[in-house]
Structure 1
Amino acid sequence: MAKAAAKSLRPSSSNWWRGAVIYQVYPRSFQDTDGDGIGDIKGIIARLPYIASLGVDAIWLSPFFTSPQADMGYDVSDYCDVDPMFGTLADFDAMMAEAKRLGLKVIIDQVISHTSDQHPWFKESRTSRDNAKADWFVWAAAKPDGTAPNNWLSVFGGPAWEWDGVRKQYYMHNFLASQPDLNFHNREVQDAVLDAVKFWLDRGVDGFRLDTVNYYFHDKELRDNPPHMPDSDDAGLDAPDVNPYGMQSHLYDKTQPENIEFLKRFRALLDQYEDRTTVGEVGDGARSLKTVAAYTSGGDKLHMCYTFDLLGPDFTPSHIRHCVESFQKQVKDGWVCWAFSNHDVTRHVSRFIDKPEERVAVAKLAISVLATLRGSICLYQGEELGLPEAELAFEDLRDPYGIRFWPAFKGRDGCRTPMVWERAKAQAGFSSGKPWLPVPKEHGGLAVDAQEKDKSSVLAHYRAVLAFRKQHPALIDGDMHFLATNEDVLAFTRKKGEEQLLFVFNLRRGPQEIALPHGMTVREAIPMPGLSGQLVDGDIRLGLLDGFCARVT
């Protein structure tokens, strides 16, 4: 195991999340300790020292709550317990204690826009139109011809309405039919959700990642969504175009103004505890930044948000600059959390490379770029190993989205395959049993133990870059200013106090040479891990997929 990571220069305060590095753990695929082929909380405990050795500040746990697992835990049937496949509340408490010992904050997923249809709330709600929870979900009468109340679509395909024969009404579901939407217009629902949040705050969690945070409220009048116009700014979810969901402008089924007041209630609860944070997932198409601005302004709602802007196939200077500058322009006093990968998208080394032999170089350059952007950053388990997307057969798929849209879209299982720990062991050390998803053969050679022995590995590079980030306060929360360059070069400064750093990255598959910006003086070239760019006679010379760093005035 590598040495402990460098200590951060960030002071301990309620703003610990600003500039934090957050490591996402997908519990199903991280480490199995009981041989059932599914990762568990005891496995997370066993691997926490590894996570801490990377130099991250916090972990984000994808859902581990009691669930029928129709959508891999994003269909919750009990918000206040651990699913037995993952362990027990005692295991969770032990994990919290070990994380604290190692100096790691813990953020957990909160999936509160909808529940499972197996949740007791929904089971009661569907029994009649006049029970105590009859109005806890979004119910509506059929049109006279028996069709759904309006034209709203599900993110997972088909109508967003499911007929219930007992109530003889439709209920709304933005996702699977087995994930009915809660009715946030009902104050009792808000209270119940906040009680569940308080349950985890009292157990010591440091924050919440709020799944689909702009989906909580729907239009009370159930008005039809208009068709999406190509030039409009109100497109749907940034999703594969195999899904007709993107053919509507989602004006009425999500991102309603009432959400603002609920987020204030959520923040007021968090503010009763010390040093807690929130990060919201905003999927709102071209409107996402407007939504982020509304949800993070004023210091009384969310602490930070992330969008899907950097989770697509584009790894170019113009795209990255556009995303960051658009955020800075539209979101005046909010904070962003950037990421290139997560559990819902193709792993970024596969999205960004032109050919397989570029994988290592692109993996290294991508974290060098990500770690120098203004904002907090999220890393997804396995990206520090440079894992490519797994190619799975249809019969191995578990993702309902992938199964629904196969073969036009292969789903999300390719990024959810098990973490690889030990090259020589069966299942790469993930499990002693058959894993819930196959362990790709090509991933085995990239296992942690193999990369621990290689100082030139992607893993070693991640550790070095994250240590570099911690050593420079300007990279935690300093200002960021982009410089004019050609289309293949990304150049910007980060400044805090007396420190101003210049970063120049060549994203081209060939060498580049650019002039030092007019009026800028290099005081000192700063070695940054993995970068070999040099300043020669006033010009910055860069190799392919290379970079340069210097202290400037």
Structure 2
Amino acid sequence: MTKASNDNWWRGGVIYQIYPRSFADSNGDGIGDLDGITAKLDYVAALGADGIWLSPFFKSPMKDFGYDVSDYCDVDPMFGTVADFRKLVDRAHALGLKVMIDQVLSHSSDQHPWFVESRSSLTNPKADWYVWADAQSDGTPPNNWLSIFGGSAWQWDTRRCQYYMHNFLTSQPDLNFHSPQVQDALLDTVKFWLDLGVDGYRLDTANFYFHDAQLRSNPPRGRPDGEDPAVNAVNPYGWQWHKHDKSQPENLVFLRRLRALLDQYPNTTMVGEIGDDDGLARVAEYTSGGDKLHMAYCFDLLGTAHSAAHFRSFVQRFEEVAPGGWPCWALSNHDVVRVASRWGSADKPAHPDLLRLGAALQMSLRGSPCIYQGDELGLPEADIAFEDLQDPYGITMWPEFKGRDGCRTAHPWAKDSADLGFSSVAQPAAPWLPVIEPHRALAVDVQERDTGSLLHFYRALLRWRKTQPALVSGTLSVLPAHPQVLAFVRAFEGQQVLCVFNFSDTAALWDIPAAYTAFTVLTGSGLVDAPRAGHTLQLAPWGGAYYRLG
């Protein structure tokens, strides 16, 4: 089959993630919607993004806020209609923005008609569409697999007197990708939205599609230390090596089928979310060869570590394991604590200069940057009281892990509005999560008026980056280690850009390698030029600079 043309807009393009429930509310019910997003697309275009990624808006009982789909080919009424989605796509395209949507293929809602039929008997036409298994002789689950949200990954069902598998909530049964019928049905749902004009997909849990057909138990890992609540002592999910419940070889075969479908549509792309014991290696595997994912991301930039040594280690390793792969780099998303709090503390968000430096690093790495709504404003994590929590993950893991609500509060558009301008009607209902008072001073209208704000910095950085081919498309070469400074060179078609970042709260001296005899300041990025004494740069705390070599 002949492939459609692809202009590779995604290769180095900047993606802006929108969480629909929390971006903009057009009808005053306290929940964001598609028309609200459409009305705010000018803001995204002005930021300098190339495309948007919409978290799920499909029909759903909302047990996991849209990541539990009950109809893959319809819009949930709380967000609008399919016609509203078409209007959104048309407006985005008129502004030069591509539209990517979140596709949740590994599991559905237990209210999806497929599962309702599957659980009805052992012999119905969809009996094998989900992962069912008999109990062991003592009545316990088939193996030791665990749910990310806590407890066993197996739920007993009295209709079939069998267990079904769920990697997440019990209301999110896993589809059985070993069934060709399941694969075909899911590919049909992907085609539905492609035919409506979407430009690509973010694939939720892209390495979770297949399970070990023999249902072998995972080997023990022990109680690991780690900064991510999902892999430390709070949650026993991290106490196993996940050898058999995900990242199976058959996954690659399905990804090739999925890629072949997208390749029939011009200028489309996919980015996969990878949660694996060795995320970078899996990203390399899933993006190699040009026949699977276009891009993938793991969680290396989504932790608390932000030292030069940390960044240098993972950048260098990625270049070693995935020289032909294409990553997607995010500092935050809808599943993790916001970067301003992760890199700071609960009481004191990260210094504004550090947030600027983090953005500059993100825009300078080889790959495609993804900005989560509010990162461009420097929003800190919201502190949500237990009685206000909505996230089932946080409710289960409270108090050591408060879940994901803190990064999902309403986008602050207007400082002096009671709901921060979240709704466009006169007397709206309160937003679905509480208004966060510390966000008022960071609202869009405040930062619009302040030319020194983080929002203006992001706009200048993204605008300038488009003029630097080496940063958009070039290779990356990491320079020798320094205790405070991360430095690398991006190169493309004769242009070489030296990127130097001081990831410490004290000033640093950094010697430009002798091989670079000619270097000039590249202005316009928003970063302040680092003074030079010969071949030595004098970098301010949380300071960085760009130079053109040659």
Match of 1:3 in 2: none
Match of 2:328 in 1: 337
Question: Once the two structures are superposed, what CA deviation does each residue of 1:140-186 show, in whole Å capped at 9, x if it has no partner?
Answer: 11111111111110010000000110111110000000000000000
Counterpart among 523, 543, 550 of residue 547 in structure 2:
550
Question: Once the two structures are superposed, what CA deviation does each residue of 1:370-391 show, in whole Å capped at 9, x if it has no partner?
Answer: 1111110100000100000111
Gaps of 5+ in 1: 1-11
Question: Once the two structures are superposed, what CA deviation does each residue of 1:378-429 show, in whole Å capped at 9, x if it has no partner?
Answer: 0000010000011110011111110000001111110001100011111100
Alpha-carbon deviation of 1:452?
Answer: 0.3
| Distance in 2, Cα, partners of 1:56 & 1:250 | 36
Change (3 A) 1:297 1:247: same
Counterpart among 469, 474, 477 of residue 473 in structure 2:
477
Question: Once the two structures are superposed, what CA deviation does each residue of 1:94-149 show, in whole Å capped at 9, x if it has no partner?
Answer: 00000000000000000010000000000000100000100100001111111111
| Distance in 1, Cα, partners of 2:510 & 2:146 | 49
* 1:16 aligns to 2:12 (yes or no): no
* 1:314 aligns to 2:305 (yes or no): yes
- Return the letter of the residue paired with 2:542: L
Alpha-carbon deviation of 1:229?
Answer: 5.4
Match of 2:461 in 1: 465
| Distance in 2, Cα, partners of 1:263 & 1:537 | 52
Contact persistence 2:488–2:499 (CA under 8 A): yes
Contact persistence 2:394–2:403 (CA under 8 A): yes
Contact persistence 1:143–1:149 (CA under 8 A): yes
Alpha-carbon deviation of 1:482?
Answer: 1.3
Match of 1:100 in 2: 93
Match of 1:38 in 2: 31
Match of 2:414 in 1: 422
Counterpart among 237, 244, 266 of residue 236 in structure 2:
244
Alpha-carbon deviation of 1:13?
Answer: 4.7
Give the SS at the match of 1:215: coil
Structure 1: 4+ residue segments shifted above 6 A: none
| Distance in 2, Cα, partners of 1:370 & 1:464 | 14
Contact persistence 1:237–1:284 (CA under 8 A): no
Contact persistence 2:341–2:349 (CA under 8 A): no
| Distance in 1, Cα, partners of 2:443 & 2:14 | 22
Contact persistence 1:340–1:348 (CA under 8 A): yes
* 1:518 aligns to 2:509 (yes or no): no
| Distance in 1, Cα, partners of 2:286 & 2:486 | 29
Match of 1:256 in 2: 248
Q: How high is the TM-score relative to the length of structure 1?
A: 0.95
- Return the letter of the residue paired with 2:460: A
Counterpart among 201, 208, 226 of residue 201 in structure 2:
208
| Distance in 2, Cα, partners of 1:37 & 1:469 | 36
Match of 1:52 in 2: 45
Match of 1:539 in 2: 536
Contact persistence 2:15–2:51 (CA under 8 A): yes
Give the alignment of 1:35-434 within 5 angstroms.
35-228=28-221, 239-285=231-277, 287-353=278-344, 356=348, 358-431=350-423, 432-434=428-430
Change (3 A) 1:56 1:453: same
Q: How high is the TM-score relative to the length of structure 2?
A: 0.95
Alpha-carbon deviation of 1:532?
Answer: 3.6
- Return the letter of the residue paired with 1:402: G
Gaps of 5+ in 2: none
Counterpart among 480, 505, 524 of residue 509 in structure 1:
505
Give the alignment of 1:481-492 within 5 angstroms.
481-492=477-488
Change (3 A) 1:203 1:239: farther
- Greater CA drift, 496-505 or 304-313: 496-505
Alpha-carbon deviation of 1:356?
Answer: 2.5
Give the number of equivalent residue pairs.
Answer: 538
| Distance in 2, Cα, partners of 1:93 & 1:402 | 34
Match of 1:451 in 2: 447
Contact persistence 2:230–2:237 (CA under 8 A): no
Contact persistence 2:10–2:269 (CA under 8 A): yes
Give the SS at the match of 2:500: strand
- Return the letter of the residue paired with 2:44: I
Question: Once the two structures are superposed, what CA deviation does each residue of 1:410-464 show, in whole Å capped at 9, x if it has no partner?
Answer: 1111000110001111110003211100110010111101100000000000001
Question: Once the two structures are superposed, what CA deviation does each residue of 1:305-334 show, in whole Å capped at 9, x if it has no partner?
Answer: 000111000111111111111111111322
Give the SS at the match of 1:401: helix
| Distance in 2, Cα, partners of 1:15 & 1:70 | 36
Give the SS at the match of 1:429: coil
Question: Once the two structures are superposed, what CA deviation does each residue of 1:322-376 show, in whole Å capped at 9, x if it has no partner?
Answer: 1111111111322100111000000011111267274322221110111111110
Match of 1:495 in 2: 491
Contact persistence 2:519–2:549 (CA under 8 A): yes
Alpha-carbon deviation of 1:14?
Answer: 2.7
Give the SS at the match of 2:80: coil
- Return the letter of the residue paired with 1:386: G
Contact persistence 1:310–1:323 (CA under 8 A): no
- Return the letter of the residue paired with 1:394: F
- Return the letter of the residue paired with 1:246: G
Contact persistence 1:171–1:180 (CA under 8 A): yes
Contact persistence 1:44–1:95 (CA under 8 A): yes
| Distance in 2, Cα, partners of 1:239 & 1:204 | 38
Contact persistence 1:210–1:278 (CA under 8 A): yes
- Return the letter of the residue paired with 1:393: A
